[in-house]
Structure 1
């Protein structure tokens, strides 16, 4: 399998709901499916990023309930791991009733695990007198351990690069913008069809989100009242915000993710799609630009980690969208792409991630706006250069610098944010 398809298979997939609580539900379903009988208890250990992102986001198929706790309970009751990140599409009113009872009785817990060096979810399920355990690590669907009554059914050791069975990431991390562009030669008709499916999927959830009186609605109202121009920038912001509104509100519409994130998928796909449509770029070029957007998003996540203290929509998906727009109008112009990457990272590279929730749509709007602005500055030959701040001489160097800031400079940011969030929720179910 070529690098392009490795990335798409592992990083770009449909997801129903915020990917972190859904990954918790998926892990719970994996464990529960190993047993039969009545579900008795579910215990989840989650890394800080998963814990944070599942803390306050609405979970689909729950009637508006929020958090990892209800996701774990419902995922274990569905127990159909073949549904993967659409696991809650198998829910029903009866299963939801049972999940609520388990939560009310205190039989479902979500605890904060130590820092495992990336996404890590460890779920133990007690069912019918038996015990099963499932561990996801290094990716939302990356199963590294599965146990039933003490018997190890699946065990995947970390390789020497520490990539948790995602060996392609080690190679991807060492690539350049030029080599990422060369991967587009692997794209065939089936790949284009899958990319188009992602566009259609994310357009549907955006349309559903427009019915909500949330961020997308108010951006559109600013246009109606004349505060914003009715242009491609505004229409792109309305589109992406509406899709994020729907997703964060728990509407039962799947989204095509990117880098394992639904909101990042919204930005990485809909921004280049809408801009390309406005400028009448041929459909195949638009779809290939979206493929490049996914690749850049995945490349950056190799450097910053799956769940960084800074917003992935800003520093990964927004960057991918900016590069995609440059590709649509200037082809493989690396100089212009470097300018676009440096400009958007200089602009919104410090945007904090304080977990998944309704306010993420605001960050999606900022990312959309910044990506289009950076792309068109770059297309005009203007952008931020290495003379300024932490920006490097190339896109790759800037991304490495950003990774240093994330790993070293912001090492306490997640702990501090989690402390604040937990203080706000004293007395309420955590996780």
Structure 2
């Protein structure tokens, strides 16, 4: 399997709901499927990013309930791991009622694994006096350990997780922007069909989100009242915000993710799609540009980590969308692509991630706006250069600089935000 397909296989997949609580549900289902009998207890330990992203987001199929803990209980009760990131499509009313009772009775809990770095979910399930455990690390569906009654059923060298737990990521991390563009030569008709499926899936969720009186609605109202122009930038912002609104509100529509994130999938896919459609770019070119958007998103996540203190929609998916727009109109013009990357990272590179919730749609809007602006500045030969701030001499150098800022300069950001969030909840887990 070529590198392009490795990235797509692991980073671009349908997900029903915010991917972190869904991954918690998936891990719980993996453990629960190893045992028979009535569920007695489910206990979860998760890294800061998973903990934070599942803190205040509405979980699909729950009637508006928020948090990782309901996802854990439901996943353990559904116990159908073959559904993977669409695990909650197996919810039934009686299972939801059971899950709520488990939560209210203290039989389902989620705690912060403070020592863990990188994506990590460790779930223990008890049924009929027996115990099973499942550990995901390094990715939302990357099972690294499975146990039943202390017997190891599966164990991987990747058990400690971290950003380099997939071999393809090590190769991807060392690539250049030029080499990412060259990977598009591997895209065939089957790949194009999968990319188109992602467009259609995310358009459906955007249409559902337009019925909500949330961020997308208010952006559209600004256009109606004349505060914003009715143009491709506004229509793109309405589209992406509406899709994010639907997803964060827990509507039961799957989205095609990117970099393991649904909101990033919304930006990475719908921005180049809508811009390409507006400028009548051939469909195959639009789809290949979306493939490039996914690759750039995944490349940046290799440097910054899956769940960084800074917003992935801004510093990964938005960058991918900007490069995709340049590709649509200028092909493999690396000078323009470098300008686009440097400009958008200089613009919104410091946007904080304080977990998944309704307000993410605002960040999606900002990312959409910035990506289109950066792309068209670059297409005109203008953008931010190494003379300014932390911007490097190339896209790759700027991304490495951003990684240094994330890893070292913002090392305490997640911890501080988590403390604030826990204080608001009286120190309780979620």
Using the size of structure 2 for normalisation, the TM-score is 0.99
In the alignment, which residue of structure 1 is the partner of 2:102? 102
For 1:33-48, what aligned pairs fall within 5 Å after superposition?
33-48=33-48
In the alignment, which residue of structure 1 is the partner of 2:339? 339
Matched, 1:376 2:376: yes
In the alignment, which residue of structure 2 is the partner of 1:411? 411
In the alignment, which residue of structure 2 is the partner of 1:300? 300
For 1:240-389, what aligned pairs fall within 5 Å after superposition?
240-389=240-389
Kept after mapping to 2: 8 A contact 1:25/1:75? yes
Structure 2 CA distance for aligned equivalents of residues 320 and 115 of structure 1: 31
SS of match in other structure, 2:125? strand
| Structure 1, gaps ≥5 residues long | none
Kept after mapping to 1: 8 A contact 2:28/2:42? yes
Structure 2 CA distance for aligned equivalents of residues 178 and 10 of structure 1: 22
Kept after mapping to 2: 8 A contact 1:48/1:115? no
CA distance 1:97–1:149, change in 2 (3 Å) = same
Kept after mapping to 1: 8 A contact 2:217/2:242? yes
SS of match in other structure, 2:423? helix
Matched, 1:19 2:19: yes
Structure 1 CA distance for aligned equivalents of residues 343 and 381 of structure 2: 12
In the alignment, which residue of structure 1 is the partner of 2:429? 430
CA distance 1:160–1:167, change in 2 (3 Å) = farther
Q: CA deviation at 1:129?
A: 1.6
The two structures, once aligned, show a CA RMSD in angstroms of: 1.2
Runs of 4 or more consecutive aligned structure 1 residues displaced over 3 Å after TM superposition: 159-165
Structure 1 CA distance for aligned equivalents of residues 241 and 417 of structure 2: 24
Deviation digits for residues 214-261 of structure 1, max 9, x if unmatched?
000000000000000000000000000000000000000000000000
Structure 2 CA distance for aligned equivalents of residues 355 and 160 of structure 1: 23
Matched, 1:193 2:193: yes
Kept after mapping to 1: 8 A contact 2:119/2:163? no
In the alignment, which residue of structure 2 is the partner of 1:111? 111
Q: CA deviation at 1:415?
A: 0.2
Structure 1 CA distance for aligned equivalents of residues 129 and 63 of structure 2: 30
Structure 1 CA distance for aligned equivalents of residues 415 and 311 of structure 2: 16
Q: CA deviation at 1:430?
A: 2.0
Q: CA deviation at 1:155?
A: 0.2
Structure 2 CA distance for aligned equivalents of residues 116 and 343 of structure 1: 33
In the alignment, which residue of structure 2 is the partner of 1:217? 217
Matched, 1:77 2:77: yes
SS of match in other structure, 1:144? strand
In the alignment, which residue of structure 2 is the partner of 1:238? 238
Kept after mapping to 2: 8 A contact 1:336/1:381? yes
Structure 1 CA distance for aligned equivalents of residues 161 and 311 of structure 2: 25
| Structure 2, gaps ≥5 residues long | none
Structure 2 CA distance for aligned equivalents of residues 159 and 171 of structure 1: 20
Using the size of structure 1 for normalisation, the TM-score is 0.99
Structure 1 CA distance for aligned equivalents of residues 120 and 170 of structure 2: 19
Structure 2 CA distance for aligned equivalents of residues 29 and 327 of structure 1: 41
CA distance 1:159–1:430, change in 2 (3 Å) = closer
